[in-house]
Amino acid sequence: MNIHGQYALITGGASGMGATAARFLTEKGAKVVLFDRDLAAATQLAESLGGKAFGVDVADAASVEKAFAEMATQSIQIRACINCAGIAPAKRIVGKEGVMPLEDFNRVIQVNLIGTFNVMRMAAAMMSQLAPMGDSDERGIIINTASIAAFEGQIGQAAYSASKGGVVAMGLPAARELARFGIRVMTIAPGFVATPMMAGMPQTVQDNLAAQVPFPHRLAKPEEYAMLAYHIIENTMLNGEVIRMDGATRMV
């Protein structure tokens, strides 16, 4: 998919990998639409990029549907959708404060898994109505963001790993189903990336995580995620696959 001149929707676009992907895609000639629950930050970035921002809670069906309806009235037709919105609270099933409240588990699944599906379903519906493009008759590309915690979750990550495992698992059936519309679905599973989400962890934890990366022996840069997302958009043969971006990290 040649994204130049086309709209790309990025959820979680106000911060971290989503924000960096928005800058990168703008440099490549795309027009970006940012969905974020932090409308002020999303608006500030979108204005600097000549894009659009919507205050959206990806976990809420009505919120996402309203934003898509608004995009339709503004004749915004997205060709790429990058799902980056996510949360990563760590909590033990049975911790010092007692048993994990079910609502805590529920919230992580609601944002990371159901939120990704929520946006993917609306993006696919919009893309399915567009004219096919290029020599592959492609209509759109959806990139979901999982995590290596989908495969090797750590203590305290039962909810997060379950949510990201769900994102990984739905990628192939979604790609198979949406193939008839010429819509691809890909998943990126990052390792440890230097974003505000990571900065929320104590420095010792960040140093320990970086020490686990065989090569390059450091945290990933959000720009590396943006480069990968851009390559996936451009390379039409990539479909129904999960790509780890982790410097060969395999958490034990």
Ligand X SMILES: NC(=O)c1ccc[n+]([C@@H]2O[C@H](COP(=O)([O-])OP(=O)(O)OC[C@H]3O[C@@H](n4cnc5c(N)ncnc54)[C@H](O)[C@@H]3O)[C@@H](O)[C@H]2O)c1
Pick the binder of ligand X from 67, 111, 210, 228 (CB under 6 A).
111
For residues 53-82, which are near ligand X according to CB under 6 A? 56-59
Pick the binder of ligand X from 134, 173, 196, 216 (CB under 6 A).
196
For residues 128-147, which are near ligand X according to CB under 6 A? 145, 147
Pick the binder of ligand X from 26, 118, 157, 195 (CB under 6 A).
195
Residue with smaller CB distance to ligand X, 145 or 236? 145
Hey, which residues are catalytic here?
160
Instruction: Examine residue 34 and tell whether it contacts ligand X (CB under 6 A).
Output: no
Closest listed residue to residue 140, CA positions, set 78, 226, 76: 78
Residue with smaller CB distance to ligand X, 228 or 236? 228
Instruction: Examine residue 46 and tell whether it contacts ligand X (CB under 6 A).
Output: no
Residue 188: both structure tokens together: 């990126």
Q: Provide the minimum distance between the beta carbon of 195 and ligand X in the complex, in angstroms, as a whole number.
A: 3
Residue with smaller CB distance to ligand X, 33 or 59? 59
Question: Of 21-29, 94-102, 127-135, 191-199, which part binds ligand X (CB under 6 A)?
Answer: 191-199
Instruction: Examine residue 120 and tell whether it contacts ligand X (CB under 6 A).
Output: no
155: left (phi over 0), alpha (psi -120 to 50) or beta: beta
Question: Of 35-43, 126-134, 174-182, 227-235, which part binds ligand X (CB under 6 A)?
Answer: 35-43
Neighbour tally for 220: CB within 10 Å: 23
Give the residues lining the site for ligand X (CB under 6 A).
12, 14-18, 36-38, 56-59, 84-88, 111, 115, 145, 147, 190, 192-193, 195-198
